[in-house]
Amino acid sequence: MEAINHIYLDYAATTPVDPEVVGVMTPYFSSNFGNASSLHSFGKEAKEAVERARMQVASLTHSPASEIIFTSSGTESNNTAVKGTALAMRRRGNHIITSAIEHSSVFEPILFMKELGFDATFIDVDHFGMVDPEDIRKAVTPKTILISVMHANNEFGTIQPIFEIGTIAREHDICCHVDMVQTFGHLPIDMSRLPVDLASFSAHKLYGPKGVGGLYARTGTKIHPIILGGHQENGRRASTHNVPGIVGFGKAAEIASLRMHEETASLKKFRDRLIEGLYKDMRPVQFNGHPAKRLPGNVHISVPGVPGDLMLSGLAQNGIACSAGSACSAGNTGSSRVLNALGISGDLAGNSLRFSLGRHTRPEDIDRVIDVLPAIVKELRDKKQGAAK
C-alpha cells in the first residue's frame, strides 16, 4: 500500500483552502444561491458578494475594483491576456515578446497565435533564470503589441525585473502582461506604481478555492474577450459568476494581505534552513534559480545522476510530498522546457526536485527532509555504483 503523505511541501502546485475561506463560501452554495446577474433580491445579494470580493482582490494589488476581471483560473487569465491582446491589437501589429521560461498557459497560447500568423520572440534567461530587460528592449519592433513575462517562475522561483520590463513596454506604448500566479498574495504588488497593464492571478495558490482566477486589466487596456455569450464582467468575460468561488477568492486575498509580511519572513528562514541542510549533507547538489531574488518558499535542486522520480518516491515513503519539476507538467518527468532554458541539460533536468513551502510548514518538516533526503540519495548513489561494478 502506498504511504500517506503527512508533510506537504508542494504549495506551488496548490494550497489547502483556509477554513475561514470555506466558512464565508458555504452560504453561497445553498442559502444565498442567487445568480449575480438576476435583478431580484437573490441576485442582488450574490452581486453584492461578488463586488465585495472584487474590492478585496483589488485592494491586495492597490488597484480600483473596476480593473479586476474574475475568471475560472490563472490559465484562463493568461489565455485571455495573450489571445485577447493579440486580437484587439491585430491592426496595429502582430509581434509578441515573451520569455523562454513562461508557464504553458502563456507559452502555448503564444504558439497558437503564431499558427494564426502572429510572430513571437522568446527571450532567453541567464543561468539564474533571469530575463535581462535590455534583451526585451532589443527585441521590440514597430509591430510589437504585447510583452508577457512572468513575475516569478513556478519551478525554480526566480523573480523577474518586471518594473524594468514594464517601463520598456511603456516607453514603446506596448501592452505589458505579467503572470503573477505564483506571487499574488505572497509578495507585495502595487499596480498603482507598476507599469503593467495586465496581470494574472489564481485563488488556489493563496489558500482559496480551485477554479477561480483574476485578470487585472488597467483602465483603457484593449483586450478582446475570449469567453463570449454574456454581458458579465462588463462584457469582458461571459458566463454565470462562480459566486462561492469568487467570495472565497476575496477572503483569501484579505487574509493574505494580513499575513503576508509575517509569512514571507518565516518562509525565507525555512527555505534557507532547507538549502543549508541539503548542501551540508548531500553534495554534489545544485540549487537552481536566483540565490536571492527568489520566491520565499521555493527550493529547487538537481542531484546529478539521481533520478527525480526515485527521490520523489523515496520521500513519499517517508510521508513527504514535493514535486519533480512542476506539478503542472506532472507525468512529464522528462526534461522540462523551462529547465532546459535555464541551461539544465536533459538528464540533469530529470534529476530535479521542487520543494515549495507554505503557511502550514513547520521547522520539524524541514528537519525531517534534511534527515531523510540525503539518506535516500546516498542509497540511490550506492545502488548505482554497485550496479556499475
In this chain, which of 75, 121, 144, 323 binds ligand PLP, going by CB under 6 A? 75
- Is residue 67 within 8 Å of residue 220, measured between CB atoms? no
In this chain, which of 103, 236, 241, 251 binds ligand PLP, going by CB under 6 A? 103
112 to 116, 118, 119, 124, 301: CA distances (angstroms): 7, 9, 10, 20, 32
Stretches 22-30, 73-81, 224-232, 237-245: which one binds ligand PLP (CB under 6 A)? 73-81
Stretches 28-36, 177-185, 348-356, 359-367: which one binds ligand PLP (CB under 6 A)? 177-185
- Is residue 57 within 8 Å of residue 249, measured between CB atoms? yes
In the block, which residue shows the cell 532547507?
274
Cα 297 from chain centre: 13
How far apart are the C-alpha atoms of 327 and 324, rounded to whole Å?
Answer: 7
In this chain, which of 182, 232, 336, 351 binds ligand PLP, going by CB under 6 A? 182
Stretches 15-23, 72-80, 140-148, 335-343: which one binds ligand PLP (CB under 6 A)? 72-80
Question: Is residue 202 within the footprint of ligand PLP (CB under 6 A)?
Answer: yes
Residue 312 φ then ψ, to 5°: -60, -45
In this chain, which of 15, 18, 36, 74 binds ligand PLP, going by CB under 6 A? 74
Closest approach, Cβ 53 to ligand PLP, in A, equals 16
How far apart are the C-alpha atoms of 85 and 101, rounded to whole Å?
Answer: 20
Residue 96 φ then ψ, to 5°: -120, 135
Other C-beta atoms closer than 10 Å to the C-beta of 43 total 14
In this chain, which of 56, 63, 85, 154 binds ligand PLP, going by CB under 6 A? 154
Other C-beta atoms closer than 10 Å to the C-beta of 373 total 26
Residues 78-97 that bind ligand PLP (CB under 6 A): 78
- Is residue 93 within 8 Å of residue 142, measured between CB atoms? yes
Please tell me the count of residues contacting ligand PLP according to CB under 6 A.
14
Question: Is residue 358 within the footprint of ligand PLP (CB under 6 A)?
Answer: no
Catalytic positions, written as ranges: 328
Catalog residues that contact ligand PLP under the rule CB under 6 A: 73-75, 78, 103, 105, 150, 154, 179, 181-182, 202, 213, 328
